[in-house]
Amino acid sequence: PNPNRHASVIVLVLLFIGGSDANPAARRHSQLDVNHKKQPLQTFRPYNIAHRGSNGEIPEETAAAYLRAIDEGTDFIETDILASEDGHLICFHDVTLDNTTDIASRTEFAGRKRTYEVQGVNMTGWFTVDFTLRELKSLRVKQRFSFRDQQYNGKYNILTFDEFILIALHADRVVGIYPEIKNPIFINQHVKWSGGKKFEDKFVETLLKYGYKGKYMSEDWLMKPLFIQSFAPTSLIYISNITNAPKLLLIDETTVPTQDTNQSYYEITSNGYLAFIRKYVIGIGPWKDTIIPPENNHLGPATDLVARAHALNLQVHPYTFRNENSYLHFNFHQDPYAEYEYWLREIGVDALFTDFTGSLHKYLEWTAPHQNKEKKCRGPPA
């Protein structure tokens, strides 16, 4: 796909929504059946999740990265949701703006650096929660990694949650969304909404506004597919009272406790905890190196986490698959397709988060091009 082609599509989408997540047109739009008669989501093979869009090629969480991922065949576009100072929900991974925007070169914001505690650690930088949406929109996004293509730096701005959703809804086929409730403890400390509402309330309100609802594989879900993810189990339990959409508990590396409940990796991956949390979630999203811990950049013995999760009818969506050699363990001979083969055929996971949507789509088309049998419906029945 030609990235220049994306410009006109982005302009059309952003003109429609007016660049604001308070736009009345967005509310009217929620009444439209935009997915009627579109090619449906495939459900017969593992899901291809575009991690922050096709960010191996284009700067993460931008309209162009998501449009590229859709062009390349992704099943779901994935994003991280944070908030601005004035309470707008934005698509951005880090709580600070330093690594993926031009904030450091913006002299008008030079005095806005702050130091806050984030997950028990003091962090200094320019925080999203200290800038209004208008100010955030004035920034330009850049590629996170120096070894990736830098030609798109400065071309795109930060998206709102509404803008992200509309990109999915205006695709020419059914494309799911996979938003994360990011750093909810921090956001709720620094951003306040009227009526005592929390970050999680605003997050779900936005989804409901566009008609995202329904249990996994229900008719509503298949029309507007959605997975909600978070590293914070308290947030997932809280929103289970206001939405029945499928949720996944993300699991960090073995040394990192949960940000809200301070539980260890070993506690939240125990059989007892998985049996408890399955009342609220349809699956787990572990970092792949915790499922198969590497030794000297070779695969070590696989843990039984996937088998134990599947025994409890939980899906497993590991993260993050990247094509670059520096991310591929030596067993895969610098071949990302060999890595896909191993995880999907040998380990048997249900989806992959990838920075390179096109590569995973090609692999899946080569190996599972047709529907032989319906995808196993893990999770609570619709």
179 or 28, higher pLDDT: 179
Distances (CA, A) of 41 to 35, 37, 46, 199, 318: 10, 12, 11, 29, 20
The two three-digit tokens of residue 75, written as one number: 């099943």
Task: Give the Cα separation of 282 and 343 in Å (integer).
Answer: 20
Which phi and psi angles does 159 have, rounded to 5°? -90, 150
Count of other CB atoms within 10 angstroms of residue 198: 17
Helices (H), the chain: 3-17, 24-29, 63-71, 133-137, 161-169, 184-190, 199-209, 219-223, 233-239, 265-268, 271-277, 288-291, 305-311, 336-341, 357-367
The two three-digit tokens of residue 317, written as one number: 């969506």
The two three-digit tokens of residue 45, written as one number: 């093979």
* Bridging pattern class, strands 176-181 and 283-286: unpaired
71 or 19, higher pLDDT: 71
User: What's the pLDDT band for 372 if we cut at 50, 70, 90?
Assistant: low
Helices (H), 44-176: 63-71, 133-137, 161-169
Among 24-28, 200-204, 217-221, 359-363, which stretch is predicted with the lowest mean pLDDT? 24-28
Among 12-26, 78-92, 187-201, which stretch is predicted with the lowest mean pLDDT? 12-26
Q: Do residues 47 and 76 make contact, with C-beta atoms less than 8 angstroms apart?
A: yes
User: What's the pLDDT band for 312 if we cut at 50, 70, 90?
Assistant: very high
Taken as a whole, the chain contains a residue count of: 382
Give the domain ranges of the chain: 47-94+158-367
CATH 3.20.20.190 fits 47-94+158-367, yes or no: yes
3-state secondary structure of 127: strand
Average pLDDT for residues 172-200, to the nearest whole number?
98
User: Residue written as tokens 């951003």?
Assistant: 191
Type of residue at 148? R
Q: Do residues 225 and 216 make contact, with C-beta atoms less than 8 angstroms apart?
A: no
pLDDT of 229-269, one tens digit each?
999 999 999 999 999 999 999 999 999 999 999 999 999 99
pLDDT at 371: 76
Task: Give the Cα separation of 230 and 284 in Å (integer).
Answer: 10
Residue 374 reports pLDDT greater than 60: no
User: Residue written as tokens 């792949």?
Assistant: 288
pLDDT of 86-128, one tens digit each?
999 999 999 999 999 999 999 999 999 999 999 999 999 999 9
Distances (CA, A) of 174 to 2, 43, 97, 170: 21, 12, 32, 9
Type of residue at 196? G
pLDDT at 31: 47
Task: Give the Cα separation of 322 and 331 in Å (integer).
Answer: 15
pLDDT at 379: 56
